Amino acid sequence: MPFLDRSDAGRRLAQRLMYLHGADPIVLGLPRGGVPVAFEVARALQCPLDVIVVRKLGVPFQPELAMGAIGEDGIRVVDDRVVRQAGVTPADFTAVEQAERRELERRVQYYRRGRPGIEVAGRTVIVVDDGIATGSTARAACRVASARGADRVVLAAPIAPPSVIVDLGLEVEMVCVQTSSHMQAVGEWYKDFAQTTDEEVLSLLDRVAMDPTPTPAAGSPDDLCLGHRRIEVPAGRIRLPGNLTVPERCIGAVLFAHGSGSSRHSPRNRFVAEALNRSGLATLLFDLLTPSEETDRGKVFDIGLLADRLTVATDWLRTQPECQPPLPVGYFGASTGAGAALWAAADPDADVAAIVSRGGRPDLAEARLMQVRAPTLLIVGERDTAVLDLNRRAQAHMLCENRLETIPAATHLFTEPGTLEAVADRARVWLTDHFVPVAESARRL
């Protein structure tokens, strides 16, 4: 479904970014078109807004085709494949870069009016554009933010191709509202894609500066009356950071077991967690591994270790005051995290009310699948054929109540329009259906 205009796109993008509401972020919009989108995000998250200026380096005889991009602080990104295929000489490249560098400096001075940019060192930075086509300018903008010392960089856009999301997702955390494999131009996804003027950019920056604490957008954590706090789970000699969110009149708690290469910052798991919060479920998103352990592929696929960490976190959660009296507990696992969730739930002392696996690897827990007692929902993308086959094989070993559901047209990361919403909805129904009887039984006791 196309966006009405950039303001509509910004409001819809802001809903996907509400998990960052408590992270004290800074929003940086790419002028010109990215700034109206960024303005709505900054208002919703009640945070500062600034510009981050980048310039596309177009092929000399085909300027719309990006062969790279430049950004502030001397940042440069080069698409060697395009340069090679287009036959661009070093002299031609240098000429384009010098011209664009002059324009970049002019725009920096114009938009900031001689003022320095907002300090981003040690902060969470959300880089926003109105859409991503090739990813060159977005990558340059993210590298500028990282070079300035940002602690965490999140790239956000209303629309982008899945291939670009996968590519850029290897470098930064990425959030999109919709994706399209057949995207020809960003403008085709807007009913009104009128050019944004420099005057509009300055006006929006001034409006945020004059009203730094606007009313939170509908659907923000404040509206949901959530208790939200950063936590650390003690696990032997290490501590695992996380975020615990507990809504009022909570009926159960869900621990998220992230997949390989992911963390508590996973935008997909955060999106699902917010949907569960709105349905009265508490969520705990935490890191199963320390930063140094994440670089060790042996530990990334050590399902026994991941399961032990999940069990430790479950025991910790049950002692927290906001979860008293003890709530029914469920697991939501993705990729290798799903294998860890099933492994942990197979323990004879485990008291797990329900499990949901998203694009999971239950085969990694095959040795213990027959011991799992918790009702288990396996969700796999229809087009994720390899993982779908693994889930079907694993299901044959399970004796507990279980169901395998496929999401139409979805691939492994569920980046297609509406597919992640479908995952969240099915997870919500499965978990609440199995939490409510447990909670009612506990109240009778």
Q: Are residues 258 and 320 in the same domain?
A: yes
Please return the burial class of 306, using the count of CB atoms within 10 Å of its CB with bins 0-12, 13-18 and 19+.
buried
Q: For residue 75, tell me if it sits in a domain.
A: yes
Q: Are residues 202 and 338 in the same domain?
A: no
Q: Are residues 300 and 391 in the same domain?
A: yes
Q: For residue 215, tell me if it sits in a domain.
A: no
User: Which amino acid would we find at residue 259?
Assistant: G
Q: Are residues 287 and 205 in the same domain?
A: no
User: What was the pLDDT predicted at 73?
Assistant: 81
From CA 240, how far away is CA 309, in angstroms rounded? 9
Q: For residue 220, tell me if it sits in a domain.
A: no
Domain endpoint, select from 176, 210, 244: 210
User: What was the pLDDT predicted at 213?
Assistant: 47
User: What was the pLDDT predicted at 261?
Assistant: 64
Structural domains in the chain (count): 2
Domain endpoint, select from 146, 180, 210: 210
Locate 325 and state its tokens. 């009296």
Q: For residue 184, tell me if it sits in a domain.
A: yes
Q: For residue 218, tell me if it sits in a domain.
A: no
Q: Are residues 16 and 62 in the same domain?
A: yes
CATH number of the domain residue 265 falls in: 3.40.50.1820
Task: Report yes or no: 265 and 152 within 8 Å, Cβ to Cβ.
Answer: yes
Provide the 3-class DSSP secondary structure of residue 192. Answer: coil
Q: Are residues 188 and 267 in the same domain?
A: no
From CA 306, how far away is CA 145, in angstroms rounded? 32
Q: For residue 428, tell me if it sits in a domain.
A: yes
CA angle 304, 310, 311 (to 5 degrees): 90
Cα distances (Å, whole numbers) of residue 229 to 209, 244, 255, 332, 406? 28, 6, 15, 20, 34
User: What was the pLDDT predicted at 440?
Assistant: 54
pTM of the full structure: 0.57
User: What was the pLDDT predicted at 91?
Assistant: 93
The boundaries of the domain holding residue 403 are 226-444
From CA 389, how far away is CA 384, in angstroms rounded? 9
Q: Are residues 200 and 254 in the same domain?
A: no
Please return the burial class of 114, using the count of CB atoms within 10 Å of its CB with bins 0-12, 13-18 and 19+.
exposed
pLDDT along the chain (445 residues), means of 10: 87 87 88 93 91 90 86 86 91 92 88 82 94 86 89 92 79 84 83 89 80 44 56 91 89 91 80 89 93 83 94 95 90 95 96 96 96 97 95 96 95 86 93 78 52
| Other CB atoms within 10 Å distance of the CB of residue 166 | 14
Closest C-alpha among 115, 106, 112, 162 to residue 135: 162
The strand pairing partners of 50, in sequence order, are: 28
Locate 432 and state its tokens. 């609440």
